[in-house]
Amino acid sequence: MDFNDSPEEARYRTKVAAWLAAHAPRFEAGPDIKPNSAAWVRLSKAWQKVKAEAGYAGITWPRELGGQGGSMLDGVIFQQEEQRYRVPNVLFQVGMGMCLPTVIAYASREQTQRFVGPALRGEEVWCQLFSEPAAGSDLAGIRTRAVRDGDEWIVNGQKVWTSYAQYSDFAIVLTRTEPSVPKHAGLTMFWLDMRSPGVEVRPIRTLAGDEDFNEVFLSDVRIPDSQRLGAVNAGWKVALTTLMHERLAIGKPPEHAGIEQIIALAKSIRTESGGMLLDAADVRDSIARYYVNDAGLDFLRMRAQTALSKGLPPGPEASIGKLVMAKTRQDLAAFALDLLESGAIIEDDDRSVLSTLQQTYFWAPGLRIAGGTDEILRNIVAERVLGLPADYRPDKDVPFNQQ
């Protein structure tokens, strides 16, 4: 494993860092711009447009589609450097990281050319209509039906936990088109105009007070067959393309607490004897354990980075890293809030360390679900990495309408 950038990678990182230092600060969201506000959406679109104009949007996309034709590692380097700033980049993560790669892979050339440019420039937002109330972590268990009617499909169902659906212009939607076959075999994917008649979006307020997630109700929504992605009843293969990109796209959310903030917090709190809380043996032990976890995650990222730099596909690091990272962030924030005792319940909106800790703690449960729940990822690691026997699936070969 090579822990250092190659000379070419180092030059690219230096170039990216210099550009971000010159442009990113003026797009950082101050305390007067609340997440999910109209001002936040405008700032997000403005930042995306600036990145596109400078060639830092769609870094890995083909040049003929408006991308840069760069390597996956180029994209990783830019993401790493961008995370140093509080720029509003999450509004486009689903579209750029998950939806558009799927559209590029399966839509017609005309449709691809129609959608890629506006997405790159921040003019159009995409969302992903996958999860459903009855399916839980079992994506193949969705019940949203699409019934063919000539050259159209009539879609009815409900999606949930759809990030930024209230701001989205388009979506990719996974539907069930054949219930008389096993669940994985009867799915079909489409792209959808979110302004279509019959589409209703209801925001969900989270513990953190945000409205990142939404319920989406589809009532007799008509989708032309020309908007189908992939073959009829081959939607599971298309969905896997989306999921592969999703785990690569999910990283540390912006403004989430890390080990540095915890150490600074422990130094700032005084014990009854007047010493620093950091000097307490149990506190130092806990911080050391979290530090080791963070170091392990760094090494996993380096391993993935080494593979990408050699032109190899990412291995199991994405699943392992996401599994460990999400729980570590939640545990780390809970530990820090415990250190603050009753002071942790103060509502703080001024982007202080306390505010960051609260945001990390409240957001972490969602992070442990997004991109595959802990249980799903453990199965992936057990079966595909460790080679353990597959989990028993009694519904594997049973038609969906008989389950």
By the 10 Å C-beta count (0-12 exposed, 13-18 middle, 19+ buried), 390 is classed as exposed
> Is 246 an annotated catalytic residue?
yes
Q: Do residues 66 and 117 lie in contact, with contact meaning Cβ atoms separated by under 8 Å?
A: yes
- Dihedral, CA of residue 133, residue 135, residue 140 and residue 141, to nearest 10: -110
Q: Do residues 210 and 36 lie in contact, with contact meaning Cβ atoms separated by under 8 Å?
A: yes
**Active-site residue, from 81, 132, 246, 317:** 246
Position of tokens 């249980």? Answer: 375
Tokens representing residue 35 in the block:
């997440």
Q: Residue 145 half-sphere exposure, CB side, CA atoms within 13 Å?
A: 12
Among 366, 336, 367, CA closest to 354? 336
Please give the span between the terminal C-alpha atoms of the chain, in angstroms, as a whole number.
47
Active site residues: 246
